[in-house]
A and B are shown apart, each in its own frame.
Chain A
């Protein structure tokens, strides 16, 4: 925020100095290619052959453009604090191979021609605008201070166009007006220039979008990995803490029951109930934790982990896993989650007597299929379980389908891309 009061003029002066410096430095840079094409023009005029001159000029321009662009980038950052994004990402450490790739990419990209356009065609126009602004500054100063130097002009010259009472007040007024308008003029020109630089020297819209997509894909992968790591951490914490504690509790209750035969009947019943409760709690917690991220999934893969999951189900499950090799960990984890959630749904809602789980690799896709012969009528948009599954599958660019006509059968299919 700009503070009112005495600071504002100082701020405006600083800004003006900055813009003026920016424009002044711009003039030689924008005219840098003028000698090249004017030489080409004179050479052609002198010899009558335009080809060799323009070939040399074209090479100079195409090779000089990136250098000029780099200098322009420095100029924008130094004066305006504006970063003109480099059109290509950082190629990494220098080597001949990298350099060759860069050159071939440079010659074939539309980016090159936008840069050449900027330096060759727009440059002189921008230089003209910069010169106009600078000229306005000089004229403004001269006009505003006309009374200060008019006496020094030799008398014969002064008489015709410097009337102390007639022309000079007009010069002074015009000079003051010019000076007053100068900050706006310089600022607008500088802004216009940096916009042109961003459009022609920076990445194009499609490059920006492509970079954005790459960035998003990267951050999403990071997010998924973080979620998986978090699930592993929770699984581990529960395994080392609460689960051991509960087992220990159940063991101690069991020991009391087994070693104290002369308990009063009431106490024995209460203890037996507590014992049972503890065992139920263990089983319940085990089921919950098993759905998170079992150690065996990491250790032995999807095939090994799924049998533990399927065997816990009260409904008979037929399990078929057909994989030549292990798929990437992120995909394993999503596939495991799909089967885990789908089987939970089967036990909760379906009323099924038979379930079939198939996991197979079909080309570059891991297809996970869970079918049950239950009541059907599952609505992916209603339950949070199925929509959560769809989101999780979507997070690895997979597709997710549920068919569940009323009366069954229900089929849940997830196809997960798993190309390494």
Chain B
């Protein structure tokens, strides 16, 4: 699969290329700012764009805006955003349209190379990946109300669902059986009055929509 990297730190860009190549991606372009990223996506039509959020000239949310632009103009392109800090506001912007093929992760997650490569593959295949810290921020906003009815275990499962993990992934993370996971998920959907959704990103969408609607 072909990938484009947008990252203004040259040092880190080298590392990112190596990691993606290790994961079987072919890096067709490396750029340092948002306009060049958009041009590279138009030119190469990659399956994946790995994008830093803070880039020149203003060093605020250029990456987020570029990602939204890519998802509008080339909907088939999966986008993984990397950032030193993750912000739920940017996540909300990013997920406002469609949650499939979107990832938003802390840069330090790249250091766990094997897990990172797996996450990127999942997003490239149309999945969703949200950093646990984003999910923690989203949960923060809903600490009153229906979430109080969840048991601690169910909260863990909800968080992992929001991060974009499958039932198998959740079962592995919590070292419980898949049937137990399924039971927890049913309880969560019942307690939160969510429409029953099958697996995949429609479920993530439902969870995120529930978390996201609380925002002021």
Contact = CB atoms under 8 A, between A and B. Distances in A.
Interface of A: 236, 239-240, 243-245, 247-248, 250-255, 257-259, 275, 278-279, 282-283, 286, 289-290, 294-296, 298-300, 303-305, 307-308, 310-312, 316-319, 321-322
Contact of A319 (B16, B84, B140): B140
Contact of B113 (A254, A294, A298, A308): A254
Contacts, number: 115
B58 to A, nearest CB: 9
A295 B59 contact: yes
A243 B7 CA distance: 14
B54 A311 contact: no
Interface in B91-143: 107-108, 110-114, 133, 136-137, 140-141, 143
30 contacts: A239-B59, A239-B84, A244-B9, A244-B12, A245-B11, A247-B111, A248-B12, A248-B14, A251-B12, A251-B18, A254-B19, A254-B110, A255-B22, A255-B113, A258-B22, A259-B22, A275-B111, A279-B111, A286-B85, A289-B84, A294-B85, A304-B88, A307-B89, A308-B85, A311-B88, A311-B136, A318-B140, A318-B144, A319-B140, A322-B216
B60 interface: yes
A259 to B, nearest CB: 6
B12 A247 contact: yes
B87 A296 contact: yes
A239 to B, nearest CB: 6
Contacts of B60: 295-296, 298-299
B22 A308 contact: no
A311 B9 contact: no
B212 to A, nearest CB: 13
A310 B15 contact: no
Interface string B137-156: 10011011000000000000
B84 to A, nearest CB: 6
Given A254-B19, A278-B111, A295-B59, 5 more contacts: A239-B54, A254-B112, A307-B140, A310-B140, A311-B136
Contact of B89 (A245, A253, A296, A316): A296
Contact of B88 (A255, A275, A279, A308): A308
Interface in B36-63: 54, 59-61
B111 A295 contact: no
B143 A316 contact: yes
B85 A251 contact: no
B86 interface: yes
B85 A296 contact: yes
A311 B108 contact: no
Interface in B59-73: 59-61
Contact of A251 (B110, B114, B133): B110
Nearest to A298: B60
A333 B216 CA distance: 20
Contacts of B112: 254
B114 A258 contact: yes
A198 B186 CA distance: 85
Contacts of A275: 111
B136 A299 contact: no
Contact of A286 (B15, B84, B88, B110): B84
Contacts of B19: 251, 254-255
Contact of A283 (B61, B108, B114): B108
Q: Which 9 A-B pairs have the closest CB atoms?
A: A250-B111, A251-B15, A244-B9, A311-B136, A254-B113, A311-B137, A304-B89, A258-B113, A307-B137
Nearest to B87: A296
Nearest to B53: A295
A308 B86 contact: yes
A255 B108 contact: no
Contacts of B114: 258
Contacts of A310: 137, 140
A359 to B, nearest CB: 11
B137 A308 contact: yes
Contacts of B86: 308
Contacts of B18: 251-252, 255
A250 B108 contact: yes
Contacts of B16: 251
A250 B133 CA distance: 19
A253 B15 CA distance: 10
Contact of B133 (A243, A299, A311): A311
A69 B145 CA distance: 72
B137 A243 contact: no
Contacts of B54: 239, 295
Nearest to A317: B140
B89 A251 contact: no
Nearest to A305: B87
